[in-house]
Structures are given as C-alpha cells and as structure tokens.
Amino acid sequence: MREIFIERREKLLRIAIKEKGKLYECFIEEEKDEPLLGEIYKGVVKNVVPAISSVFVNIGYPKDAHMNFSKDKKYKQGDEVVVEIIAEEHANKGAKITENFSIAGKNVALTTNKSGLFISKRIKNEEIIEKFKNEVIVPEGVSVTVRTNAESTAVEIINEEVNEIYSKLAEIKEKSRYILKPQRVYGENSLLHKVLSDNVNSNTTKIVVDSEADYKIVKEYIRYEDNIELLLHEEYRTLFDFYGIEREILKLRNNRVNLKCGGQIVIDKTEAMYTIDVNSAKNVNSSNAEKTYIETNLEAAVEIGKQVRLRNLSGIIIVDFIKMRSVEAKKQVMDALDKVFWKDKGNTTIYPFTELDLVQISRRRRGKNIYEYIEEECDSCKGRGKRLKISYISVLIRNEIVRVEGDNSIKDFYIELNEEYKESVHADMLTFLKDIDGLDKNIYLNFVPMTEYFKVESLIFKNQIENVSKYKVDNIEIC
C-alpha cells in the first residue's frame, strides 16, 4: 500500500511517500535561483573544450551548465541548443545537461534525438511485449520507452499518452526557436510531475495535497485511476505535521540505525563520500560468530538500501561490512543489495567486495539530500559540526504552537531556543515570528545554553506570564 503526501509552503515543496505506513522516500525542492532536475532550457554555447569532450552552455544563470559530447559531434561558440537538466548545480560546478531531453508520463517516456521503441526490462510477459512492439506508435525523431506501469494498461491509452507528450516536445522546440536569450522553456513543477510518474502505480491507494493548484494537477494525472483516493488537506496544521511525517524526517538526523537482530549501521559523511559502518553491537547471542556476522550483514544490506533512498544519499558510498570468510555469504549480501536497490530510480551501481571487505555504491545525485534541507554549519564549532537550520526549527515551533492553540484561542507562548541561534534570530526577528505564526501572539523568547533544539510552552495563567515577562519580544525588536 503506497500513500503520497504533497506539502507546498512558500518557496518550498516537500513530497513524502509511505509504504505500508512507513516513510519510504522524501523529496524536497526549495525555490532558489538555480536550475532544477528535469527542467528544459534554451541555451547558448559559451565554450568548447575538446580535450575533455565538454561544452559549456549559458542557460541564464551565473554558472554555465556543462555536457559531454562524442567526437563526431561538432559545437562552436554561439550555437543555440535545447537541453535538459540531468544533475543540479553542486558546490562550484554548474548543472549537468543533455541535448537528448525527454518528458515522462505515467506509461511512457519520449526522448528527442533518438529513435526506436524500448520496453522496461521489468516487463517479463512475452505476449505483452510483442503486443507493444506491434501496436505502440513511435513518432518520427524520438524514442519511446514503455514504462513498467504500462504493463496492465490498454495500448489505446498508451498511444494517447504518446501523442500528448509528443505534442509537448513539439511545443518546446517551437518555443525555443523564437526565444532570443537563454531561459527555461519547460519544467514548472518538474519535481511533482517526476514523482508522480515514478511512484503512482497499482499499489498507490491515497494521495494527499494541501494546495488547490496541486490538487488539479494530480487529479488530471490520475484521471484513469479508480483505485486512488485524492484528498485536499485543509487543516490549519501543516500536512507533514498532521500525518506524523515531520517527526520521521527529524529522526533521520540520527546517524545510527538499529537493526532488529541487535546490530546497527552508522552513517557518516566526509568531504568526498559517505561511509556506512556495519557492526554487530548487541547481536552477540549466537555461539557461532560467522553465523552472527552473516545475519547482521544481510539485515544491514536491506536497511542500507532503505536509508540511502530515505536520506537521498548520492555520489560514492563506501560500506564496511563485518568481515566474512565465506564466498557464498558475500554473494548473499551482494544479492540482498541488488534486490533492495532494484526499484531505486537513482541509477545506482554496486561494486563487488574488495580485499578489505568494503563495498562501493555509486549513486547519481538526484536533488538535495535530507541534510542539506534541515542542517547548516554550526558557528560555535567553526563549521566542524552541523546543527538544525533555524528555518527548519521555525517550522517545528509553528507546528507546536498550532497544535496547542487549536480552538483554545491561546495567544501567549514561551519559547526556549539554544543560545547558538540567538544571533541569527535577532538578526531577522520579523521573519522568525512570521515563520512560527507568532505575529499576532505574545511571544516570550529565551535563549538557553543546553537546550536541545527548542521548547514551546503555552501560557494560560497570569502568574506564568509574569514569571517570563522579561523575555517578551517587544514591537521595537521587529521594527
């Protein structure tokens, strides 16, 4: 059973997917002045570097995007191109792009500058495959990939979708022809459309949104689906808080994940990669050490797949499994990793055990990881550690205030924050109060050295208010 939750705040879109009631995947997109995955741009070639087979393209942002090209492809400065973002800007690098841009629907994906019909390898029924080969229409100048979702879909509906997407591609090319300067030509709500196309299937039972605009988009997308319940969340509490997703996201800050067998995995980030250490921890009941190691490693392999997907880890991931002597045991662990990453849409490659019993996983970057959204560098330890972002803490405080306020019309709240946030809060008190929904309330704000995250207390009695009166945020502070 799959449920999809779509929460849209000002300049922020968050999408959570639950499988059997547990958080399965989470996508976050902040509205910033940078290109996003899946968007399509009209660009102009700025520089060609044959030595590394790369071309740099101005797509309307300070950082030029870049793409690789084959030796038989010729570019020159000033060439106009239409490209898709396949990797977002990262650190000092601009976005990675391709001229083979594509649009995916629920059942098919069409890609330009290619030709032919491709069928998902997950579709095994030979009769269905043959039917698709004979009856799916492939327009000129594009390739059509039949997705796994299409296995139980009528060919007539598939061909209707092919025509719709082909018309969109034609519109993009036509629009690009008349645009004079580099800019985006397609891709508004690209994350929402991509998540829907990747995750709406026969197992999806419910989709919840909190925006009327998103409600219309989803309703149109699932127009042929009778089994999906679509709800518009109209509660004052945020959607993620109402459905308990916020608490699950916050748990992901913990780098230790306990396994049912008593073992655990520890996830750490270095400058160049992520490392995951597997250890037996409390799993010491068995008299057979080798059996214990195999049991722990197998369970860890499954949990690693879940955590990589949940936290959206990417790049190089090194896993240090507990050392095993058996070649067969190592094969079992590799099979477990292959199985858990099979459904991953992150273009994951898993390499075999090294002589040091390390496994390397390479996963393509796909948007921001969970840490980039909820954490920032800690000033007090000169960047050596991480702390929760004040913007994220504000969301959590607002949830607490809304939950307590309810129908009680409480207007006085005492808030404690760790003192390391004092400078950033006082620098823009108006934004802080606005983010916690405190502009029309009496807020008493105290910064305490050892407080973890925050504390919110509603003030009901007169003596409570008198006891904290010196912490009241005066109007002068927000002028």
For tokens 């916690």, the residue is 436
Q: Which residues of 262-279 are buried (b: 16+ CB within 10 A; e: fewer)?
A: bbbbebebeeeebbbbbb
Q: How confident is the model at residue 477 (pLDDT cuts 50, 70, 90)?
A: low
CB 278 within 8 A of CB 300: yes
Q: Is 186 helix (H, G, I), strand (E, B) or coil?
A: strand
How high is the pLDDT of residue 165? Answer: 96
Q: Alpha-carbon distance 55 to 432, whole Å?
A: 43
Average pLDDT for residues 213-220, to the nearest whole number? 94
Higher pLDDT, 283 or 153: 153
pLDDT band at 88 (very low <50, low <70, confident <90, very high): confident
User: What is the rounded average pLDDT of the residues 348-359?
Assistant: 90
pLDDT > 90? residue 406: no
**pLDDT at position 284:** 63
Helix (H, G, I), strand (E, B) or coil at 339: helix
Picking from 301, 362, 303, the residue whose alpha carbon sits closest to that of residue 335 is 301
pLDDT > 90 fraction of the chain, expressed in percent and rounded: 59
Confidence of residue 407 (pLDDT cuts 50, 70, 90): low
For residue 342, the tally of other CB atoms under 10 A from its CB is 10
List the structure tokens of 104.
Answer: 């995916």
DSSP 9-44: ETTEEEEEEEETTEEEEEEEEE--SS--TT-EEEEE
Which of 3-12, 32-41, 254-263, 468-477 comes out lowest in average pLDDT? Answer: 468-477
Among candidates 183, 188, 44, 166, which has minimal Cα distance to 105? 166
Helix/strand/coil for 387: strand
* CA proximity to 264, closest of 230, 306, 220, 296: 296
Q: What is the pLDDT of residue 197?
A: 86
pLDDT band at 322 (very low <50, low <70, confident <90, very high): very high
For the segment 119-162, what is each residue's pLDDT rounded down to a tens digit? Answer: 998 899 999 999 999 999 999 999 999 998 899 899 999 999 99
In percent, the amount of the chain with pLDDT more than 70 equals: 95
Answer whether residue 249 shows pLDDT above 70: yes
Pairwise CA distance, residues 41 & 58, whole Å: 10
- CB within 8 A of 168, min separation 6: which ones? 103, 186
Q: Which residues contact 372 (CB under 8 A, 6 or more apart)?
A: none
- Name which of 2-16, 122-136, 284-298, 306-320 the model is least confident about: 284-298
- Whether the per-residue pLDDT at 40 is higher than 70: the answer is yes
Give residue 405's pLDDT: 74
pLDDT > 80? residue 115: yes
Cα dihedral angle (35, 40, 45, 48), rounded to 10 degrees?
Answer: 80
- In DSSP notation, 254-280 reads -SEEE-TTS-EEEEEE-SS-EEEEEE-
Distance separating alpha carbons of residues 184 and 173, to the nearest angstrom: 12
Q: For residue 93, give the DSSP letter.
A: B
